Amino acid sequence: MDEEKTSWHPGEIVPASGIYECDCGAGHHWSTDVKGHRFPPLPAGCPGGSWSLKTEAHPGT
């Protein structure tokens, strides 16, 4: 079985609501509150390539 996926590219479906951070190390964050939306493009000039979940949203809040 494949390892659990930990990063997603712009345009992929958001797997869980929460706050995501790009992988460039500059602290670019993208907050999404709806599972199933698509990840946005990375910020202009960002050398990163993917988004990783930093903080999962709390269900029912």
User: Contact at 8 Å (CB) between 43 and 49?
Assistant: no
pLDDT at 59 (0 to 100): 62
Quickly count helices (H) and strands (E) in the chain: 0, 3
The pTM (predicted TM-score) of the whole model is 0.80
- Residue 53 to residue 38: CA distance in whole angstroms: 14
- Among residues 24, 47, 29, 26, the alpha carbon closest in space to that of 39 is found at 29
Domain coordinates in residue numbering, the chain = 1-61
pLDDT value, residue 61? 53
The pLDDT of residue 47 is 94
Write the pLDDT tens digit of every residue in 1-56.
456 899 999 999 999 999 999 999 998 888 876 889 999 999 899 999 999 999 98
